[in-house]
Amino acid sequence: MSNKIGAQAEEKALQFLQTKGFCLIQRNFTTPLGEIDLIGRLENQLLFVEVKQRKNGQFGTALEMVTYQKQQKIRKASMIFLQKNVKYQCLPCRFDVISITADKLDWIQAAF
C-alpha cells in the first residue's frame, strides 16, 4: 500500500472513530520496534489503533494482515508510548483494528 493510500485509509478511519467520540492524541507514532497508526482516547480508555486497507477480499481481508508478529510490534511500541507519556499510564489500554476492504469499514474493538 502506498503512503498516499495508507494516509487516506488512516484519515477515513480517524473520521469514523471521531464520530464515535474518539479524541486523537497522536498519529503514526514510530519507534525502532514498530509503528502505531492512531492513538487516542475513547471515554476513559486509551486506544492503539491499527488501520489496514485492501482493495478487495480476494487474497484475504485487511484484518488477516494484522499478524501475530505485527501485534507484538504494536504492543512493544505502545509500551514505549506509555513510557514517554506518563499521564496516560493510568488509563486502561485497548488494541483495536480498523479494517477497510473495498468500501466496507469494520471496527474490531479489543482485537488483540
CB 29 within 8 A of CB 73: no
Q: 46, 44, 32, 40: which is closest to 16 by C-alpha?
A: 40
Give the Cα separation of 67 and 110 in Å (integer): 15
Q: Where do the domains of the chain lie, and which CATH numbers do they carry?
A: 3-108 (3.40.1350.10)
CB 12 within 8 A of CB 102: no
What's the sign of the alpha-carbon dihedral 41, 44, 48, 52? negative
> One digit per residue, pLDDT tens: the chain, 112 residues?
457 777 889 999 999 999 999 999 999 999 999 999 999 999 999 999 999 988 766 676 667 788 999 999 999 999 999 999 999 999 999 999 999 887 889 999 999 9
Residue 3 is predicted with a pLDDT of 76
Question: What's the pTM value of the predicted model, to 2 decimals?
Answer: 0.91
Q: Tell me the CA distances in angstroms from 104 to 2, 8, 25, 62, 99, one per residue in order.
A: 19, 14, 25, 11, 8
